[in-house]
């Protein structure tokens, strides 16, 4: 046998052994639709590993982080008390991360008071920005809308 065959055979065996331990993760997400679903999918790290090789330790670590990541992702949309459940299933060496989300009711604004101190309070543009401040009483508290309103008043 030519001497370059031994290293080639060793390399092929190493590839075969490493592929035997390779596993993949898929994600089953339920309970949220449309924009909330898209937000949750972009906010959970395990979704970035779908279709990629992953170890059991990685799958477990990513799954354990998912609950807090779902909660953090939903807060800017006004959902501060979601219920998140699920499990990480091993299936023939591959993993299925099952995540069930009940976002609950969004937080709504019960009172709203916006005030500007000093001379700016008398400016027409500031008065218009303050009167159009959202989210207003009765609306869902959305962080992005709130921050835009603050920026408008500040500008």
What pLDDT tens digit does each residue of the chain (155 aa) get? 566 556 555 555 455 444 456 799 999 999 999 999 999 999 999 999 998 999 988 999 999 999 999 999 999 999 999 999 999 998 668 999 999 999 999 999 899 888 888 787 778 888 888 888 888 899 888 888 989 988 888 88
Beta pairing partners, 84: 101
Can you give the pTM of this predicted structure? 0.71
CA atoms of 109 and 146, how far apart (whole Å): 11
Residue-level pLDDT at 18: 47
Q: How much of the chain is in helix, strand and coil states, percent to nearest 5?
A: 50, 20, 30
Residue-level pLDDT at 38: 97
Phi, psi of 104 (to 5 degrees): 75, -165
Q: Quickly count: other Cβ atoms within 10 Å of residue 79's Cβ.
A: 23
Residue-level pLDDT at 152: 86
């Amino acid at each position: 046998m030519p001497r370059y065959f031994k290293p080639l055979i060793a390399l092929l065996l190493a590839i075969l052994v490493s592929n035997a331990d390779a596993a993949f993760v898929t994600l089953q997400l339920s309970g949220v639709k449309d924009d909330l679903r898209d937000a949750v999918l972009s906010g959970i790290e395990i979704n970035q590993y779908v279709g990629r090789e992953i170890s059991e330790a990685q799958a477990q670590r990513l799954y354990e982080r998912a609950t807090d990541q779902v909660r953090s992702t939903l807060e800017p949309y006004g959902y501060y008390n979601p219920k998140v459940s699920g499990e990480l299933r091993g299936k023939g060496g591959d993993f299925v991360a099952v995540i069930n989300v009940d976002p609950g009711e969004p937080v709504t604004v019960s009172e709203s008071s916006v005030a500007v101190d000093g001379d700016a309070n008398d400016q027409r543009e500031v008065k218009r920005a303050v009167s159009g401040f959202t989210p207003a009483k009765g609306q869902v508290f959305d962080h992005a809308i709130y921050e835009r309103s603050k920026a408008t008043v500040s500008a």
